[in-house]
Amino acid sequence: MSAPNSKKSVVVGIDLGTTYSLVSVMQAGRPLVLPNALGEYLTPSAVSIDETGALLVGAPAKARATTHPLATALAFKRDMGTPKLYDVGGRRMSPQELSALVLSALKQDAEAALGGTVEEAVVTVPAYFGDAQRQATRDAGAIAGLKVERIINEPTAAALAYGLHERHRELRAAVIDLGGGTFDVTILEIMEGVVEIQSSAGDARLGGEDFDDALAEHVARQVESASRHDVRRDARAWARVRAACEAAKRRLSELDATIVALADVPAGDRTIQIEEKLGRAQAETLWTPLLEKMRAPILRALRDASITPDRIDEVLLVGGSTRMPCVAKLVAQLFGRLPLRSLPPDEAVAMGAAVQAALKEGDASVGDLVVTDVAPFSLGTGTIERFGTQHISGIFCPIIERGTVIPTSRSKPFTTVVDGQEKIVFDVYQGEHSLCKDNKKLGEYTLYGLRGLPAGQEQIEVRFTYDLNGILEVDMTRVESGVTETLVIEGSPGRLSRGEIQRAREEMKRLKLHPRDALPNTTLLLRADALFVELVGADRERLGKAIAGFRLVLEMQDRAKIDIARGELAHLVNALSR
């Protein structure tokens, strides 16, 4: 692959996913997903620390998850913007730090593929990510040494990739994006190269991971009733059951039935065998509550766009989890038409991020493409309402309504509510409920130095400015003096200070990284070891000998022999995995 220009840093697009992440770039007018060190396009969002203290990111880390669950972190994107810490092999790490390690690996992969430097990225987030989660994504980029000026919603990115191919058509489409950890719905219209986002809705905690959990919970209950061992409280047993159920879910996309079979599953001071048959119909029954959760965001997006399903010209499925037949069936029922997969479901969001990166750079190949976006949720402040002699506090007052085209700046006037008031507290919330307590609090600001006038005579104008990245700025202006104070949302749970980001960067530099050129061998061995745990009988013996033989060849340090042996072991692993 040729470098576009080795003298100029390239802006890439990154889909930082819950389960898998990808990096892409525009070349010759088309978005191109770049391979990682293993030659694969999907990099698992996984981090692990091995017995030597070396850090593993991506495929080798995911392979260790079943055998070393306590030294591996998965699905940490779901906790972005929260104070949660993960214990990875004895090291405490925040979701931002873990995400930064994935971003750093993608940055290295892009630089290796392009032959140039990568200093900036457009990163995608779920449409329903709030301010704290978006800021945390920026923090992760900063720790990884990436400038992340532009954040784009995942379904909007998919719409951009779709619009690039369909820009000469006029149509109205719905993008259904079910990833590993999040679900988004976007209604858009394409007209003369303009991709207009009309509405977005979603659930930031609904995705393929939940479908895996539903199957794993079912299998665990069956095991527990037979063995009286609490699989869900045993980290190693649960990791194996869950990994087996994830694989079963994938098989059920093609088959009517499959078997979850596990040998020697740890159960306290003994081991147990698991063999559970799963039919697609049975699995879909277990998934019914999750499928029902998908209905509400779809209907809300249609309602916010003031459109009925029959007026949608095309429905586009995005995200690896949309491969499940039950998802396509649900969408077909709601829209009265078969959905499309005109773009690779796993790659569409990353491709759109590359298009946005090209737009940011002023690439001529996308010069006639324009995209508009909307605020996915309402933003406002808490108020106190007066009813006669009574005051009721905690009433949510929206200033920017969901569905407002962004960037936008909206303001509302507020006054004091009691005589002699010398300060006023402005709470900032996002959400759709009438009461503040039912919405997400983003921050607060206390405005001091009011003049203590009678109630209603001190006026403050509050302005919310919401940019294309989904980042909020709040200004409070005293009308009489014209003095403005700005709320900077800092110190919120999970938000890192500049000093903390710098310390995290320094800590990441000190980490013992696994050699990049050894990743293909390490990853294959870890995948083979994980498979060895699951097999029994002759297949297990055969694989064990092949693993031992490959380790012996590695000690010889003969590159040609290593390549041949790696190919043979990979062929055997693939054959025994089916």
In sequence order, what are the residues at sequence separation of 6 or more whose Cβ sits closer than 8 angstroms to the Cβ of residue 571? none
User: In this structure, what token pair is assigned to residue 541?
Assistant: 């013996």
Q: Which residues pair with 486 in a beta bridge?
A: 475
The CA distance from 335 to 465, in Å, is: 35
- Taking a C-beta distance cutoff of 8 angstroms, is the pair 252, 285 a contact? no
Question: Dihedral of CA 64/69/72/73: which sign?
Answer: positive
Say how far apart CA 327 and CA 185 lie, in whole Å.
Answer: 13
Identify the three-state secondary structure at position 438: helix
CA distances from 469 to 199, 355, 378 (A): 16, 15, 15
Q: Note if 15 is an active site residue.
A: yes
- Judge contact between 175 and 159, C-beta under 8 A: yes
Backbone angles phi, psi at 262, to 5 degrees: -130, 135
Of 79, 97, 111, 177, the catalytic one is 177
Say how far apart CA 160 and CA 355 lie, in whole Å.
7
Q: Which tokens go with 183?
A: 């679900």
Angle, nearest 10°, between helix axes 288-304 and 325-335?
Answer: 40
Place of tokens 């649960």: 238
Give the three-class secondary structure for 486. strand
Q: Do residues 322 and 346 lie in contact, with contact meaning Cβ atoms separated by under 8 Å?
A: no
Tokens representing residue 129 in the block? 């990510």
What angle do helix axes 131-143 and 498-510 make, rounded to 10 degrees?
40
Of 111, 131, 154, 276, which residue is the catalytic one? 154
**Is 539 annotated in the active site?**
no
The CA distance from 292 to 550, in Å, is 48
Selection from 548, 534, 464, 521 nearest residue 247 by Cα: 534
Residue 77 is among the residues annotated as catalytic for this protein: yes
Structure tokens at 14: 């990154």
Q: Tokens standing for 253?
A: 């996309």
Q: Which of 50, 62, 77, 196 is catalytic?
A: 77
Sheet holding 459-466, edge to edge: 408-415, 459-466, 472-478, 484-487
What is the token pair recorded at 1?
A: 């692959």
Q: How many CB atoms lie within 10 A of CB 122?
A: 27
Q: Which 3 state secondary structure label does DSSP give 160?
A: helix
Catalytic site includes residue 203: no
Distance, in Å, from the CA atom of 365 to the CA atom of 47, rounded to the nearest integer, reads 37
Please tell me the distance from the alpha carbon of residue 519 to that of residue 516, in angstroms, as a whole number: 5
For the annotated catalytic residues, the residue numbers are 15, 77, 154, 177
